[in-house]
Structure formats: C-alpha cells, structure tokens
Amino acid sequence: MNKKKLAVLLSKIKTFQNADIALEQYQTHSEIAADSLWIIHMENSIVGKTIADLGCGTGIFGLGALILGAKKAYFVDIDKKAIDIAKENLSFLENELNKKFKAKFFNINVKDFNRKVDVVIQNPPFGVKKSHTDKIFLLKAMEISNKIFSFHKIVTKDFVETFSRENGFEPKLIKKYKFPLERKAWFHRKKVYYVDVGFWKIEKFKR
C-alpha cells in the first residue's frame, strides 16, 4: 500500500447523502485524508495500534488507519446515519481488499466514549455553529490517549496550542491544508469554498 493507492481506495467510500449542517458534517477529501494518514503512518503511529476516530462521520480516518495496518479502530459519532454509512464503508473495503478488519462502532456523544487507545485521529467540528465544539473533542482525546492527531481551523491556532499546553500536551502544527467544503445548504453562496485548516500532532508531555 502506498499513499496514492490509499487515496484511490478512500475516494471510493460512501459519503454523506444529507449532511447535517448543525453537526458541521463535511466529507474530508480523500487526498487530504490519505496525505495526513500517511504522515501518521510514516512516524510509526498506525501499524499495530488501536485507533479512535472521534466524530468519525463516514469513517474515512479510522478506515484509512485500518488499511494501513492498525490493530483495531473505534468509530465514534453521535449521528446514527453517519455510523451506518461508516459500517457500509467498512464492509465495502473488506470486500475490496478481501480482508477482515477489527472495528467497533459507537453511536454516542463523544463525551461518553471511554476506551483507552494508542492514538486518536480526529477531524472535529470547527465550531462554526457552536463556538469551541472542538474543545470537547480535544478534552476527550486527552482523556483516552497520549497521542492525538487533530484538524482545526488555522485561525484557532492560539487556542489549540494554549489549550493543549494547559492540559499537559505538546502541540505541533505538522501541515496546513485548504479544505474544500461543498455547498450543503441554500445559504451557501459558492459551490465549493476553501477553509484554511491545520493538522496538529498533540502529544502528552514526557516526564
């Protein structure tokens, strides 16, 4: 498996049919997902690891981690429709690759998830509809893992990094992306618009 093949596979999975704007549901572009997952993979943080995909949506990050050799993936989302799509996508990829993956799905609020994991990979809501929704995801990620990979809007950089350090974690901005967000509602003027997003590695301070 290489990054190009991973991107092709992820481009084939099912996306949101009727995205919930209130939950800020947007499908992460397969090229961005593959690129960020490859970065995590190259630093030996996927193979043999137990992964949590918090706010998993259609499951692109957890699925990508399984493809790259994760031992197990937990998919967590408050929206049952999203969980159902993620399950469909898992079945599709298992058939496509003729391989069985270890995965568990949790249709719950992220605050109620309490399994310890090696790594969290998350693309939480950016807090457009509700300010600092991503804070809830960061707190939960810090509770269940010492290593987090997380996407946040670049304009929230100071918040993400200050909040991480206040909670005993060292943040490192790994890469910047322009997230293409497709028009999902009548009040969105452009068919596609781009959001400047940062991809952070947030790791527990070593004592």
Burial environment of residue 191 by CB neighbours within 10 A (0 to 12, 13 to 18, 19 or more): exposed
Provide the CATH topology of domain 3-204. Answer: Rossmann fold (3.40.50)
The answer to which of 23-37, 95-109, 144-158 has the lowest mean pLDDT is 23-37
pLDDT tier, 190 (very low <50, low <70, confident <90, very high otherwise): low
State how far Cα 59 lies from the chain centre. 8
Residue 186 clears pLDDT 50, i.e. is over it: no
Q: CA–CA separation, 175 vs 168, rounded Å? A: 22
Cut 0.85: pTM above it = yes
Write out pLDDT tens, residues 124-167. Answer: 886 555 556 789 999 999 999 999 999 999 999 999 999 999 99
Q: Please state, for a pLDDT cut of 70, what percent of the chain lies above it.
A: 85
> Residue 207: its pLDDT value, please?
65
Query: CB–CB of 197/154 below 8 Å?
Result: yes
CA distances from 145 to 142, 157, 158 (A): 6, 21, 22
